[in-house]
Amino acid sequence: MLSAREAAFLSLNKIIYEGKYSNIETDVTVKRENLGGNEKNLYVRMVYGTLERLITLDFVLSHFSKTPLAKIEKKVLNILRLGAYQILYLDGVPDSAACNESVKLVKQYSHKGADGFVNGVLRNISRNKENLPKPDEKDRLSVEYSCPQGIVDILVKDYGNEKAEKILGAMFIQPRITLHVNTLKTDLETLCGLIPSHPADGCGTALILDEGGADGLMDVIGKGICFVQDVSSQLCAAAVDARPGMTVIDTCACPGGKTFAMALDMKNEGKIYSFDLHESKLSLIRDGAEKLGIGIIEPMQCDGEKGREELFGKADRVLCDVPCSGLGVMAKKPELRFKKTEDIGKLPDIQYRILTASSRYLKSGGKLVYSTCTLCRAENGDNVRRFLASNPDYELAEEHTLFPTEDSDGFYYAVMIKK
């Protein structure tokens, strides 16, 4: 079995250099290596913490390494990052342990002589951690909040410096786990009695886990009496206003949380078509629906930009939860910080095409909900207004931007009605 540090080092290599998703990589590693208790907690914290602080760590390392970071072997650089994270951010870890364990790693995974380099850099940081270098003001938000300058520029442009800094600060909030009660099998009060939790404010289907609640989480999920879903996603699904007997289409459905939430609002009566571009992902919806006891969902492969012509004009409600930059969920998925701004810039047109295709499913008088888990206005309100300007038979009923908190992701949704 790997130690927490070695497992964290190997996972960081896969996430940073191979593009693995942090949540999937950590889940797989915990199970494979049978990590539990303090070892599991240390492993998860080191992986997520190092990713969250990557730009800050590289800024510090660049001042204490005579070798430019770009010329350091990738594995050695990740060992330095992991060691520096422990020294600067983990109070329970002695600096000597962080240095010594980093040297052990570099001896095992790199070339002879790299151990002295790693030891020297980390001990120098340890000696000077109360007097670290500070960035220039133009780089301050990026370095202090460990966020690429391109994303900082987007947030400052959309919200101004003060609000942007609050959003960046929220990236470091440890989100609490939220459950959606399965009202086909139980109710909020009963579920609350089965697992340490409390009802979420302003969302009648949501429970927020209290300390110690995670211990019983797999049991209640396994029984199909609830599923994990953020408050913001629950509010978005509720805004669709899906009712028993309706025909509902979820155009970008996987992994299926909003589909399940709408099916519960419909009391498992009617029909939901749940689409995804990738056939391989639809098993997530099928398996989830079976566990929850939901029988009205029909998962189908569909290219969201083209749609399925046989269902045009057939839906009472349509949810269009498009792929996005994810700037609202960076606290849960820190690798999203490192999306290239040019890739983010391509998203609004893709989202607009999906929204336009999704609108074709709706009957007159029906509701169309457009949503993202980002805070970028070009992907949110700008796209909605662009759609409304080109589709005068639609009108905006409501619009919400939710900023990230301990109990909710950053999120956007707009409700439009077809006249």
- Cβ count within 10 A of residue 287: 12
Q: Per CATH, is 4-130 categorized as 1.10.940.10?
A: yes
Q: Looking at domain 231-418, does it have CATH number 3.40.50.150?
A: yes
**pTM, rounded to two decimals:** 0.91
Instruction: Please list the residue range(s) of the chain that carry CATH number 3.40.50.150.
Output: 231-418
- What's the CA dihedral at 13, 16, 17, 19 to 10 degrees? 120
What does pLDDT average to over the chain? Answer: 95
Of the pLDDT bands very low, low, confident and very high (cuts 50, 70, 90), residue 338 is confident
* Domain 175-228, CATH class in plain words: alpha beta
Would you say the C-alpha torsion 250, 254, 256, 258 has a positive or negative sign? negative
Residue-wise pLDDT for 90-131, tens only, equals: 988 999 999 999 999 999 999 888 999 999 999 999 999 999
Residue-level pLDDT at 216: 87
pLDDT value, residue 340: 87
As annotated, the residues of the chain forming the CATH 3.30.70 domain(s) are 175-228
Res. 1 pLDDT band, cuts 50 70 90: confident
279-318 per-position pLDDT tens digit? 999 999 999 999 999 999 999 999 999 999 999 999 999 9
Contact yes or no for 361/316 (Cβ under 8 A): no
As annotated, the residues of the chain forming the CATH 1.10.940.10 domain(s) are 4-130
Helices 74-89 and 54-64 cross at an angle (nearest 10°) of: 100
Question: Dihedrals φ, ψ of 112, to 5°?
Answer: -60, 135
Cross-strand bridge partners of residue 319? 250, 369
* Radius of gyration of the chain, Cα coordinates, nearest whole angstrom: 23
Annotated catalytic residue: which of 99, 324, 373, 376?
Answer: 373
Q: Convert the pLDDT of each residue in 360-380 to its tens digit.
A: 999 999 999 999 999 999 999
| pLDDT tens figures, 244-260 | 999 999 999 999 999 99
DSSP 241-281: ---TT-EEEETT-TT-HHHHHHHHHTTT-SEEEEEES-GGG
Instruction: Name all contacts of 131-135 with Cβ < 8 Å and 24+ positions apart.
Output: 132/60, 132/63, 132/88, 133/59, 133/60, 133/63, 135/59
User: Three-state DSSP class for 186?
Assistant: coil
Q: Quick check: is 320 catalytic? A: no
For residue 124, which amino acid is it?
N
